[in-house]
Amino acid sequence: MTERTLAIIKPDAVERHLAGKIIQRIEDEGFQIRAMRRSHLSAKQAEGFYAVHRERPFFGSLTTFMSSGPAIVLVLEAPDAIKKWRTLMGATDPAKADAGTMRKEFAQSIERNATHGSDAPDTAAYEIGYFFAGLDLL
């Protein structure tokens, strides 16, 4: 079933000029890019995006990092896109990520881990709506 997910090339990867390599890989793996935008989140916007993690000890550090510089936000479409993109990203902690995954290749740490991907259909719908209006996605 064709599905959409929200991907973010996080500020650590944008800063190191890895966006081109990551986007190339996204296309090589057969995703359609349905929307894309560069966005420098404010602290408040990063807190809203990661609100599910607000009780976690890393929340302050994570939202400071995510608002530290521009990110590139994409809507990806493919059959089974949510799981497909999370598999391509690899484990949250790059030390545990499989060879060939984005995080194994590009992450610097468990926090500065290069990419984000929605984890379920309901979070994908929320996250896509957080960044893109319906008319951007026709």
Q: Does 84 bind ligand ATP (CB under 6 A)?
A: no
Q: Does 130 bind ligand ATP (CB under 6 A)?
A: no
Q: Does 111 bind ligand ATP (CB under 6 A)?
A: yes
Q: Near ligand ATP by CB under 6 A, which window of 13-21, 41-49, 70-78, 116-124?
A: 116-124
CA dihedral 77, 12, 98, 28 (to 10 degrees): 40
Instruction: Return d(Cα 112, Cα 10) in angstroms, integer.
Output: 8
Cβ nearer to ligand ATP, comparing 27 with 93: 93
Element (H, E) at 85: helix 81-89
Instruction: Return d(Cα 16, Cα 45) in angstroms, integer.
Output: 23
Q: How far is the CB of 138 from Mg ion (least distance, A)?
A: 27
Instruction: Return d(Cα 15, Cα 52) in angstroms, integer.
Output: 26
The residues carrying an active-site annotation are 116
Interface residues with ligand ATP (CB under 6 A)?
53, 58, 62, 92, 110-111, 113, 116-117, 119
